[in-house]
Structures are given as C-alpha cells and as structure tokens.
Amino acid sequence: MTDLTKLPLVLVPCFSGAPWDTDAFPEWKDRIVITGQLPNAASMEEYADIVSGWTTGLSEYVLVGDSFGASVALVLAQRQPKGLRALIMSGGFAKADVSLYTRMRVVAGKILGQLGYPISIRFHMRSLGSRFDQAGTAAELRNLFLTHSDAKTFLNRGEIVLAADLRPGLPRVQVPTLILTPEDDRLIGPESARELVENIPGAEEKVLQGTGHLLRFTHESEYAGTVDQFLKAKSSVNSVAV
C-alpha cells in the first residue's frame, strides 16, 4: 500500500490566489510540493481545471486546499481523478453560508472598483480574523491580496462563491478526507464543516484549538503536523486492510 506521507502534495491557494509559501512548512521540505498562482477564471469548474493541470505527470498525489482553495480541491475530488489518494480541506465549504455583511461587501466592491480595492480588502480581512490572531496578521495578509489579485478577480471570485453549490457531489468523493476546522471561524461557520463531514463518505474532522480562519498562516507547524498524522493513520489502516 502507498505511504500517503510520501506522496506529492498539491497545495491549492486561498481566495487571494497567491501560491502557498512552502518555506513556511519545513515539515514538508523532503516532499514534492506543487502550488501555483490561481488566475482569474469564470467558474469553480475552471479553477478545478487549472489545478488538475498541476497534477499532470503525477501517478499519485494528495490535494490540500485552504479556504476558497478547499472548495476548488473539492470540485476536483468530485471528478474522482485517477491519481488522487487523499483530500485535505481547511476552512472550506460545499455551499457558502455567508453573512449579509459579506454579500454587501461584494456589492460595495462593484461600486468602488479598482481604486477602492484596498478598502474592500481591508473589510474582507476583518471577516477573516479571529480572537486568536496576533497584531499585524491582517495587514500581512492584506498585502498578499493586493499583490496577487485585483478588484475584478476579487469580485468575480466572490460571485462564484455565492453561486456555488457543491453539495450534490459530496458522495462522489471516494478518498480519505480530512476537514481541518478552526476553533473560531467567523467567515465559514461550523455548519459548513459539519455538512462536509456528514456527506463525504468516511470524512474525518479535526478542530484545531486556538485558531481562526487564517490557521494556515498562523499555525503552520500544527497545520502540517495534523495533515501528516492523518495521512500516516490512513496509510496504516490501509496496510492492515490489505
């Protein structure tokens, strides 16, 4: 049986579209790690097509998606690609359960346009924060958005998120799946994680205490360690089964 802890990791970016900072995860320095910039696309399916292209030439791999990237990874997993061996999602959703405030922010972004983009991002970062975040976290992540995205892409992704409903395809995910849930996620509520766990066959949830929606940026070692523990456990179970 394949040792899942040795497989390449395909890391799918968050809403900013920025590639993962692989240097922040020294635990994976000996692994093949693939990530990239997510350009603007017209739908979740098109985003999944982009990520699928990153897996070309890989006979086996693990998908790891964060936030918006988790849902993109979910779309790809629902296709049951031949080489996919495990799926990890943090802060993801099948159907966005967002507040009126978030919807109003999308409308405001349309009005403000590119000149008002920094203001839109500032309000967006407020919704991503949690009571556990340290001072300066929001400012650092705001720069990530400003560097790797623009108003048009940001608004387009917002509309895609509001329209997407991936719930019908959840039973099609047929690989070991881990849902990484922050303790205090003010953007994606606990109902979203529960929906994934209850409808993806065999899915498991791990709540990381003391974290918010930005856990990939604030608790890198714990994030990587939890992923590796899950993959190791699933490798052991499958080896015994064989």
User: What pLDDT digit, counting tens, does each position of 82-101 carry?
Assistant: 999 999 999 999 998 765 44
pTM of the model: 0.91
Nearest C-alpha neighbor of 44 from the set 157, 153, 124, 172: 157
Rank 6-10, 146-150, 183-187 by mean pLDDT and report only the highest: 6-10
Residue 32 and residue 105: Cα distance in Å, rounded? 38
Contact 44, 68 (CB under 8 A): no
Class of the CATH-defined domain 4-94+166-241: alpha beta
pLDDT at 242 over 80: no
Compute φ and ψ for 131, nearest 5 degrees. Answer: -70, -10
Residue 74 and residue 78: Cα distance in Å, rounded? 6
DSSP 81-97: -TTEEEEEEES--SB--
Give pLDDT tens digits for 211-227.
Answer: 999 999 999 999 999 99
Where does CATH 3.40.50.1820 sit in the chain?
4-94+166-241
Residue 3 and residue 83: Cα distance in Å, rounded? 14
Mean pLDDT along residues 64-84: 97
Banded pLDDT at 180 (limits 50, 70, 90): very high
CA torsion sign for 185, 187, 189, 193 is: negative
Nearest C-alpha neighbor of 113 from the set 55, 155, 77: 155
Alpha carbon 228 to chain centroid, angstroms = 16
> Residue 22 burial by CB count (10 A; 0-12/13-18/19+): exposed, middle or buried?
middle
Banded pLDDT at 135 (limits 50, 70, 90): confident
Give the E-state strand segments of the chain in sequence order.
9-12, 33-34, 61-66, 84-90, 177-184, 204-212
